[in-house]
Structure 1
Amino acid sequence: MAKIALNFEDGFTRFIECRSAETLAEASYRVGINIPLDCSNGACGTCKCRVQSGEYDGGDYIEEALTEAEAAEGLALACQMQPKTNLVVDIFASSEVCKTKGQTFQARLRSVDRLSDTTIAFSLEGAGSLSFLPGQYVNVLVPGTDQRRSYSFSSPPGADTQSFLVRDIQPGLMSTFLREKAQPGAAIEFVGPSGSFYLREIRRPLLFLAGGTGLAPFLSMLGRIAETGTAGHPVNLVYGVTNDVDLVGVDQLQAFAERIPGFTFTTCVAARDSGHPRKGFVMAHMDRAYLNGGDVDVYLCGPPAMVDAVRAWLNEQGVTPANFHYEKFSPSGAVTTIGETHRAAA
């Protein structure tokens, strides 16, 4: 039985299981997810989708429904394709159109750890072995309010507990709760998983660029990579923060460097009065070799100004990465335009 991650256009992801000899459309409809479908026999192309990773049998269809060029690019018809392995599939419709939505989970607060004066980590338990793609986020209901905040997992998929990083700011709703009111066992509700910023199949060198608490999704990705390997490709991370006190998670990164062959990381601090040996922004500390002449997949998670600066720097260098995936976040954790993934040529 294959496990399928369905990514919808509005950012929600649903996981389903596909039985032997069952098409993706059949498996979806069996659990009440109505992928757009008209003919169901490979003639109309209405159920066209994109397979991001995994192996499948494309089935039978006519050229008008799916061209050879489209099939070569990873497009498939949900009514015909049968998974051979676990898949990640982009559905060209919103979750609402497909009559589904993000799942709501009930969990308990397990721990709150102050990593520095500016960063808090918290972990949840009781939600089970949650399925998500490494790099994705959930919308957490702040206890005692009707407000939700978005946080990326820092723990890998399949872990018994789910972990997150929070920027401690005044008067941030979630950070105030964690700082002043949180008690182990407190009920926490979250909805998800969501986001198109997630680790794809590793087919070339990877360059990870993290800003501040944007380190969280990379910790999740590295947790998965430690389990599955790098397919022989190098993985380099450049992690930048504003002030010395913001630099957290270095012990975890060092542990990953010891576990993952080919993984390296570099830290830097932007503040001019920093005592860190590497000052400045991440662009100043990217070894040219990390870009591999453009044959590299770049993943970037940080505040909007950082994303814009890196994109401009790449243009100045005349480098167009094979893929450029990025996620912008608000320091408060407020739900914003988040989880965007764009090819560099876009």
Structure 2
Amino acid sequence: MSYRVALNFEDGVTRVIEVKPMETVMDAAYRQKVNLPVDCSDGVCGTCKCRCEQGAFDLGDDFLEEALSEDEAQEGYVLSCQMVPSGDCIVSVPVPSSSCKLTPAEFAAEVSTLDRVSATTIRLGLTLPDPGTLDFLPGQYVNIALPDGQTRSYSFSSAPGASEASFLIRNVPGGAMSTHLTETVTLGEKMSFTGPYGSFFLRQVQRPVLMLAGGTGLAPLLSMLEVMAETGETSQPVHLVYGVTTDDDLVEVARLEALSQRLPNLTFACCVADEASVHPQKGYVTHHLSDADLRGGDLDVYLCGPPAMVEAVRNFLAEKNIVPASFHYEKFTPADISTSEAA
């Protein structure tokens, strides 16, 4: 049996490697041509220090305190030259992928789904010849190429391992990708993308989860929920508040209802900001967050939406004096270039 270790680099590039039993992460990475930072390889210098965000492993005791202190080890820091996984892991590497001689993986795919699910949203599905070659963390994104070489960034709405990689794309009038998808692309056409990227991804669920989505920012949260439903690993409550601007922007509600059947601990609410909406719940996501939802900060928050929404939520939490146990958020701009941050 081997283990999957996702190496998440400082620039957001992720590469998944296979680690054999009793093999160190360093040795496995080099075997697969990923040149992690290294100097001594003996647990002496600390050059290969990383942080394990998730997963079980053994560090042994063949390293010096100067290379990795006890306090650092308690915080999840590891030496990749000493770390021997005993399960799947996620490891943050504090250097850009380019310094490890990595280039983002490129994938050629075929358009298998192209649905205009509303006046403002397109659902795009891409199928690879071998879907197993695409490995990502739920919540991450890829850069999809346009014919002229430009790219646009979109988060997966599908789970890793799905037969079809799916995306929710806002239909922006005059937008390069929107125009391409609505006027040029047909089923069966070839499209390519690079990635995966991003530090906005699902961590191990150890406490209640609050998810907040704005518009097509729902996509990465759908990917996370799909994984939760597939694995059935969490008994923690999960609550999602999904806010949009107009009724046309409200999509994938049936999918959320289906997910709530597969994930009994999931509850969700939708709201529409437009005062002329016929939806029963109006306003912004912050209008639909109770003190009970916030749990005094004893929860993990995942937030994805436009910059104004992200800042509004951050200000709302500050005014409430709520400091979540972990707070992960991603902003996206009209040009569909996303940035991820975590606190």
Normalised TM-score (structure 1):
0.96
Q: Is 2:184 aligned against 1:181?
A: yes
Question: Quick one: which amino acid aligns to residue 69 of structure 1?
Answer: D
Q: Is 2:63 aligned against 1:65?
A: no
**1:277 match: secondary structure:** coil
Question: Quick one: which amino acid aligns to residue 106 of structure 1?
Answer: A
Q: Paired residue for 1:42?
A: 43
Cα distance between partner residues in 1 of 2:151 and 2:100: 24
Cα distance between partner residues in 1 of 2:93 and 2:103: 13
Q: Paired residue for 1:113?
A: 115
Matches within 5 A, 1:221-260: 221-260=224-263
Cα distance between partner residues in 2 of 1:319 and 1:14: 34
Q: CA deviation at 1:272?
A: 1.5
**2:99 match: secondary structure:** coil
**1:115 match: secondary structure:** strand
Q: Paired residue for 1:220?
A: 223
Q: CA deviation at 1:58?
A: 1.2
**2:235 match: secondary structure:** coil
**2:97 match: secondary structure:** coil
Q: Paired residue for 1:300?
A: 303
Cα distance between partner residues in 1 of 2:232 and 2:21: 27
Q: CA deviation at 1:261?
A: 1.5
CA contact under 8 A between 1:167 and 1:332: conserved in structure 2?
Answer: no
RMSD: 0.9
Q: CA deviation at 1:332?
A: 3.3
Cα deviation per residue 1:122-162 (whole Å; 9 max; x = unaligned)? Answer: 101125132110000000001x2110000000000000110
- Identity %, equivalent residues: 53
Q: Paired residue for 1:136?
A: 140
In structure 1, the gaps of 5 or more residues are none
Q: CA deviation at 1:254?
A: 0.3
**1:96 match: secondary structure:** helix
**1:279 match: secondary structure:** coil
Cα distance between partner residues in 2 of 1:234 and 1:241: 23
Q: CA deviation at 1:287?
A: 2.5
Cα distance between partner residues in 2 of 1:164 and 1:82: 35
Q: Paired residue for 1:284?
A: 287
Q: CA deviation at 1:230?
A: 4.9
Cα distance between partner residues in 2 of 1:66 and 1:113: 52
Cα deviation per residue 1:212-256 (whole Å; 9 max; x = unaligned)? Answer: 000000111111000112521100000000011100000000001
Deviation beyond 2 Å, 4+ runs, structure 1: none
Q: CA deviation at 1:294?
A: 0.5
Q: Paired residue for 2:29?
A: 28
Aligned length: 339
- More displaced 10-residue stretch of structure 1: 226-235 or 204-213: 226-235
Q: Paired residue for 2:148?
A: 145
In structure 2, the gaps of 5 or more residues are none
Question: Quick one: which amino acid aligns to residue 22 of structure 1?
Answer: E
**1:245 match: secondary structure:** helix
Cα distance between partner residues in 2 of 1:269 and 1:16: 42
Q: Paired residue for 1:342?
A: 342
Cα deviation per residue 1:91-124 (whole Å; 9 max; x = unaligned)? Answer: 0111000111210001011120011000000101
Q: Is 2:85 aligned against 1:83?
A: yes
Cα deviation per residue 1:1-33 (whole Å; 9 max; x = unaligned)? Answer: 011100000010001101121100001111111
CA contact under 8 A between 2:9 and 2:93: conserved in structure 1?
Answer: yes
Cα distance between partner residues in 2 of 1:36 and 1:226: 36
Q: Paired residue for 1:332?
A: 335
CA contact under 8 A between 1:118 and 1:245: conserved in structure 2?
Answer: yes
Say which of 177, 197, 200 aligns to 1:197.
200
Q: CA deviation at 1:341?
A: 2.7
Cα deviation per residue 1:258-299 (whole Å; 9 max; x = unaligned)? Answer: 110210000000111111111110001012212111111000
CA contact under 8 A between 1:169 and 1:332: conserved in structure 2?
Answer: no
Q: Is 2:164 aligned against 1:161?
A: yes
Q: Is 2:49 aligned against 1:52?
A: no
Cα deviation per residue 1:50-76 (whole Å; 9 max; x = unaligned)? Answer: 001110001221110101111011000
**1:266 match: secondary structure:** strand
Question: Quick one: which amino acid aligns to residue 223 of structure 1?
Answer: E
Q: Paired residue for 2:5?
A: 4
Normalised TM-score (structure 2):
0.97
